[in-house]
Structure 1
């Protein structure tokens, strides 16, 4: 039996963007470097095959503010939704059979949710970031784009999206709030985190141990009006995008002690989560066929973190 074909969901068109000619406000030097770093970023090669039916994509839509800073568009989910009602999130959703790749999934979902045009001339692609594992057994690909047409006006899909707002991208790397806190929020910290335990047998010779994953939380400055903080998967994705763009890690501790890498967690979920495992089998993927993928990913990630630490 021949091995299954690797997913082609990451194939995408990368346009040429000339920042000096783009119809955007004057960029601050760190904003320009951030965009250049994102344009040059290439998703690390993965040996893992992902079941398409359990893949999703979110659109990290950046734009340049009047003072030359970069902001990311965020939405407040409708309060009537069955899952994650009222949460602060990125536009996105599950891959569908008509989608050519994950970029298309993210663009389609953003068009359906907030009316962001699919036109690559108005919203060119910067990069696609390595996938994240969501709590609902989805493998989520962040697709990073730049909104260069400032005449675009949002069209919200009311059953899904209650409101749209922006947040400074660089502030996802700092513990200091980018805005003055309202009086009733003065006692709240802008950035906090909680370490959540997950089943992780590799920490225990008996195979019954746990590991901890750090979940970050950032205030939006709109909590008094009912907007929830940036939390969990959305926060992790934005921290990663900001770190790639600005070329530095956050000023807070990113991971819990001994936290497994994201690729290790995805490989483990493919083997042990019943939903992911069944989806892989239906698509001709052997969930047990990548015995060393997680270990290789962990070594690469440790080497990357070491290089990053030496640069700082």
Structure 2
């Protein structure tokens, strides 16, 4: 007769709470607090926005507990054959598709397609869904944070999209000092740096701070964590550790992320066209349904 494993420990840290990790004893007290903080996070309603489907995307922030009990995030190197952001360090993710029932479904589907991460929510339960981020004035991207519980999982990389997969300490996105020893030839290169680029809404020049973190794998051709991926990871780490980074997150005069999203939703031709197309599609679909009913 089979016996059911008693559910304890990590049940306190995630939803839906049906998986027991054999590595539970390795969790540090700090990691326990981080998981509780993430599991209890709900994006404030005033920070939520719904963009047209063709301009919406999701990324999956896959966290797991390392050998010393601390938290790491899975990152991937994009394939060098991709048309956009080739070779960049990123999170698994992509555009919303019609078959996706939710933004969580989008993130999970993309992670399954890119790196083979199981769709089973018992092995990879949801921790939280963050507020959206504007990426490159082209997409509104929502980070979905999950906890990878099954230590036996092995990645299955989609070579057309992903070159390699690696991890990075979550706390490293709050610090200016490297969480790992520097490679000798990189001793003169700072672990953390930033540059302020110009956002040009309506011809105005507004600063936007872009953060950059070394991965410790630059000698192997892995690019630093930069731009939108860095911004999302700073936010995830800030929620988890409940503290601000050791650096200024935004530039003087920089608008909030939600202000930038609101601007493109109401002013950017790409977003306006996408909204118009979706409304036209809904009207056409509604007329078609009415015709079908009339024939019955």
Fold similarity call, TM over 0.5: yes
Alignment-derived partner of residue 41 in structure 2: 41
Moved segments of 4+, more than 2 Å: 14-19, 21-25, 46-49, 281-285
Higher share in helix: 2
Residue in 1 that maps onto 2:115: 114
Selected match of 1:214 from 209, 212, 221: 209
Residue in structure 1 matched with residue 28 of structure 2 by the alignment: 28
* Distance in 2 of aligned mates of 1:57 and 1:116: 15
Question: Measured at CA, do residues 49 and 157 of structure 1 come closer, stay the same or move farther in structure 2, by a change above 3 Å?
Answer: closer
Q: In 1, distance between residues paired with 2:209 and 2:45?
A: 25
Within the candidate set 244, 248, 270, 1:249 is matched to: 244
What SS is found at the alignment partner of 1:159?
coil
Match of 1:236 among 223, 231, 245: 231
Aligned to 1:128: 129
Measured in 1, the distance between the counterparts of 2:201 and 2:54 equals 25
**In structure 1, what is the Cα distance between the partners aligned to 2:49 and 2:144?**
19
RMSD of the alignment, in Å? 1.6
Q: Distance in 1 between matches of 2:129 and 2:22?
A: 23
For the Cα contact (< 8 Å) 2:137–2:264, is it kept in 1? no
Q: How many residues are treated as equivalent by the alignment?
A: 265
Map of 1:226 onto structure 2: 221
Which residue number corresponds to residue 295 of structure 1?
none
Matches within 5 A, 1:49-88: 49-88=50-89
Partner of 2:106: 105
Q: Which deviates more from structure 2 when the two are superposed, residues 275-284 or residues 182-191? A: 275-284
Cα distance, 1:22 vs structure 2: 3.3
Alignment check: 8 A CA contact 2:109 2:119 kept: yes
1-structure distance, mates of 2:51, 2:279: 11
**What is the CA–CA distance in structure 2 between the aligned matches of 1:166 and 1:23, rounded to whole Å?**
21
CA distance in 2, matches of 1:183, 1:31: 31
Structure with the greater alpha carbon radius of gyration = 2
Contact 1:24 1:149 in 2 (8 A): no
1:196-243 per-position Cα deviation (integer Å, ceiling 9, x unaligned): 111245xxxxxx422111000000000011000000000000000000
Where structure 2 has 5 or more consecutive residues not aligned to the other structure, the ranges are 1-13, 281-296
For the residue of structure 2 that corresponds to 1:283, the secondary structure is helix
Indicate the residue corresponding to 2:158 in structure 1.
157
The one-character-per-residue Cα deviations of 1:74-119 (angstroms, maximum 9, x if unpaired) are: 0001111111111000000000000000100000000000000000
Mapped to 2, the partners of 1:157 and 1:49 lie a distance apart of 29
For 1:215 and 1:93, the matched residues in 2 are separated by 21
Q: Which residue of 1 aligns with 2:8?
A: none
* Conserved? CA contact 1:137–1:273, under 8 Å: no
Question: What runs of 5+ residues in structure 1 fail to find an aligned partner?
Answer: 1-13, 202-207, 286-312
d(CA) in 1 for partners of 2:155 and 2:50? 36
Do the aligned residues in 1 keep the contact of 2:176 with 2:246 (CA within 8 Å)? yes
